[in-house]
Amino acid sequence: MGQVFRSGAFLQQCWSVHPLCISVKRITVDNQLAFACTACRFAHYVTMGSVLFGPSVLEESGASTDGPEARPDAQARLANCLEAHAAALSLREMDVFEDLAVLRCAECRRHYTVAVTAFETHQK
């Protein structure tokens, strides 16, 4: 088994160099989002804190709020989205200083802002 790095720097570097090679794989039993990178062959994990749910473009036109909102079912919506169309989910933004990861679903056009409590990168 390879090394485990407990830093967001590895995911940040991977995302900045080859963002199209990172795919969202699953939510683990430890409440972690699992990402895989086909370029560097690392497995990245982010432990989820809170999840903010952003409406689709169609819903935004009639909404009165400007951006993501805290909803109790936001993490469940993310899990359902991942189960229904995992290939459509992508990592759109990454900030290791703010401990945030933003995912967007191309299928339902929603975005999810995840407050990250821990980062891990597993070398294969």
- Of 59 and 67, the one with more pLDDT: 67
Instruction: Evaluate whether 7 touches 13 at the Cβ level (below 8 Å).
Output: no
Instruction: Evaluate whether 45 touches 120 at the Cβ level (below 8 Å).
Output: yes
Could you tell me the pTM of the whole model? 0.83
What tens digit of pLDDT does each residue of 37-65 get?
A: 999 888 999 999 999 988 654 444 444 44
Neighbours of 45 (CB within 10 A): 20
